[in-house]
């Protein structure tokens, strides 16, 4: 694996490789790598001649500066993982390399994606994401950009960025990698205790409940049940939403046919966790039920509506 710290050196190297017809795949990260990142590297390697990974903790996308200070840094471990995975190139720039002094700030017109869900609760976050990814794409000029579905709203934002800037890069969204408990793999999981990690799996449990119990008509009750369950399990819920998979416009009712995505953001103590799950209509015999998930949440719901509580 070749390590670059200067953008000019990386651009020259990749430009020469691309001139020979080689396809370049790119996986941007903020480090603290885990199996989810490595799955993106593996997918990238399968489809490209050169796999590039970047590690850069981007300060402009943290609206909470304390969150930035606490973000895990595991660079030696990250390099070891990338080498074992067969990554070809690692870009490891300093902040000054990405954000030169006195550089004018660009605003990206990403529409309503900037103001809903993650945009609402993390103002300025997606502008920061666009700033850094725009710069990285200009430096690397990849054939394909690989992103994880866990950050689904961010994926749509970056698709919009590519469209806005007429960047000749394809965006490929890859499935979320999960731990055996169902917990979505995330660098933030490193800050969870073993007990908290088990508790955090209730987010996926809740998403699965939504997918299995959703019915045509009003979506108010199922969202409320999901939110109440998480609250009872010790979470501080920012949102539970059901939205259009292409626009992320939230839906109040459902026709029973349109594909939706269920999205959750919630704090477990001081750690903010996000996850999502696609909801497609399948023939009945294709639907598999995780009985423990259904029974846990249904038990909470049944308790909540017993006659003695009315």
| 37 flagged as catalytic | yes
User: Which residues sit opposite 272 in a β-bridge?
Assistant: 267
Residue 196: CB atoms within 10 A of its CB come to: 15
Alpha-carbon span 13 to 257, nearest angstrom: 49
Residue 91 near residue 139 (C-beta atoms within 8 A): yes
Q: Please state, in angstroms and rounded to a whole number, the distance separating the CA atoms of residues 280 and 180.
A: 23
Q: Nearest CA to 206 among 245, 187, 186, 234?
A: 234
Specify burial of residue 129 (Cβ count, 10 A radius: 0-12, 13-18, 19+). buried
Question: Dihedral of CA 174/42/81/100: which sign?
Answer: negative
The secondary structure of residue 172, as a DSSP letter, is: E
Quickly list DSSP for 154-165.
HHHHHHHHHHHT
Given the residues 9, 37, 107, 220, select the one marked as catalytic: 37
Cα separation, 267 vs 248, whole angstroms: 21
Closest CA to 48 of 13, 9, 85, 87: 87
Indicate the length of the chain as a whole number: 310
Name which of 195, 151, 192 is nearest 174 in CA terms.
Answer: 151
What positions carry a catalytic annotation?
A: 37
């Amino acid at each position: 694996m070749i390590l670059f710290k200067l953008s000019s050196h990386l651009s020259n190297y990749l430009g020469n490789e691309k001139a020979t017809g080689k396809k370049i795949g790119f996986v941007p990260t903020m480090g603290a790598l885990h199996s989810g990142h490595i799955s993106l590297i593996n997918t990238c390697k399968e489809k490209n001649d050169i796999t590039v990974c970047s590690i850069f903790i981007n300060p402009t996308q943290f609206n909470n500066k304390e969150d930035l200070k606490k973000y895990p840094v595991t660079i030696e471990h990250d390099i070891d993982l990338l080498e074992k995975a067969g990554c070809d190139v690692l870009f490891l720039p300093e902040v000054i390399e990405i954000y030169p002094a006195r550089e004018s700030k660009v605003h990206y017109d990403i529409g309503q994606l900037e103001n809903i869900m993650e945009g609402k609760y993390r103002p300025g976050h997606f502008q920061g994401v666009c700033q850094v990814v725009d710069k990285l794409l200009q430096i690397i000029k990849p054939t394909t950009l690989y992103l994880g579905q866990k950050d689904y709203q961010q994926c749509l934002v970056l698709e919009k960025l590519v469209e806005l800037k007429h960047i000749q890069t394809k965006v490929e969204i890859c499935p979320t990698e999960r731990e055996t408990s169902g917990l979505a793999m995330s660098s933030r999981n490193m800050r969870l205790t073993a007990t908290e990690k088990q508790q955090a799996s209730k987010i996926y449990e809740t998403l699965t409940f939504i997918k299995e119990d959703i019915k045509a008509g009003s979506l108010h009750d199922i969202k409320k049940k999901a939110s109440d369950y998480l609250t009872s399990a010790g979470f501080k819920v920012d949102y539970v939403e059901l939205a259009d998979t292409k626009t992320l416009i939230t839906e109040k009712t459902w026709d029973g046919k349109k594909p939706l995505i269920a999205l959750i953001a919630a704090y477990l103590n001081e750690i903010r966790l996000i996850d999502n799950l696609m909801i497609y209509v399948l023939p009945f015999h294709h639907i598999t039920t995780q009985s423990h998930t259904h029974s846990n949440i249904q038990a909470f719901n049944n308790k909540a509506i017993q006659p003695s509580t009315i």
